[in-house]
Amino acid sequence: MENIQVLPMQSKDKTIIIDIMQILSDYFSPETIEFAEEKILTLTWFVAKDKDIIVWFITFENISKSKAKIYWMGVLPSYRHQWIGSVLMKQTEALLSEQWIKKIELLTLDEHPDYPGYLFTRNFYKKHGFEIKDSYREEDVTILTMIKKL
Ligand SMILES: CC(C)(COP(=O)(O)OP(=O)(O)OC[C@H]1O[C@@H](n2cnc3c(N)ncnc32)[C@H](O)[C@@H]1OP(=O)(O)O)[C@@H](O)C(=O)NCCC(=O)NCCS
C-alpha cells in the first residue's frame, strides 16, 4: 500500500482500536484489552488508515526524557504481512527520534505452545533491531523485555 502514514489518534478512533485488539484475540487477552481501555487517555496512540479504515495502531509512553515504551501494536488481519507494520515501525522510530528518544523498550511473549503467532512477532521485532534484554515468568508464560537504541 502506497503512502501509508502514521497519524495521531483522534478521539473517534478509540473504539475502533479496541475493536482491532478484540479481533486480534490470539494476541491480546481480555485483561490486556480492559487495561488498554483504562490507559487509552494516558498513553500516546498512533494509527494508520487505508482510506478511512484504521489498519494499524501503536501505543507507547515516554518513560523518561530519552526512553519510550511500546505497549501494543497491531495490524488488521487482512492487512498483515504486507510490509505495513515494517513501514510504520520505521516512521514511528523517526517520530520518536525527533522527540529526542534514544531508546525504545517493549515487552513480548517468549515461545509458548498456546501462542504460536508470537514467533512472527518476535522475529518482526528482531528484524527491526530489537534485542532481548531480560525475561521473567508471569503465570505460565515467559515475558521478554526487548530494547532498541535509536
Ligand atoms: C507484528 C505485526 C505488527 C507486524 O506487522 P505486519 O504488517 O504483519 O509485518 P510486515 O508485513 O511488515 O512484516 C514483514 C514480514 O512479512 C513478510 N511478508 C511481506 N509481504 C508478504 C506477503 N505478501 N506474504 C507473506 N509474507 C510477507 C516479509 O517476508 C517479512 O517477513 P520476514 O521478516 O520473515 O522476512 C502484525 O503482524 C500484527 O499485528 N501481529 C499481531 C499482533 C502482535 O503481535 N502485535 C505485537 C505485540 S503487541
Which domains, and CATH codes, for the chain? 7-149 (3.40.630.30)
Residues 26 and 21: their CA atoms lie apart, in Å, by 9
**Helices (H), strands (E): how many in the chain?**
4, 7
pTM confidence score: 0.93
Angle at CA of residue 48, ends 47 and 49, nearest 5°: 125
Please report the pLDDT score of residue 149 as a whole number: 98
- Mutation test residue for ligand 1: of 82, 109, 119, the one with most atoms within 8 Å of CB: 82
Q: Ligand 1 centre from 124 Cα, in Å? A: 6
Please report the pLDDT score of residue 2 as a whole number: 72
C-alpha cell at 89: 515501525
Nearest to 72 by CA among 121, 111, 112, 119: 121
Q: Which residues of the chain have pLDDT under 70?
A: none
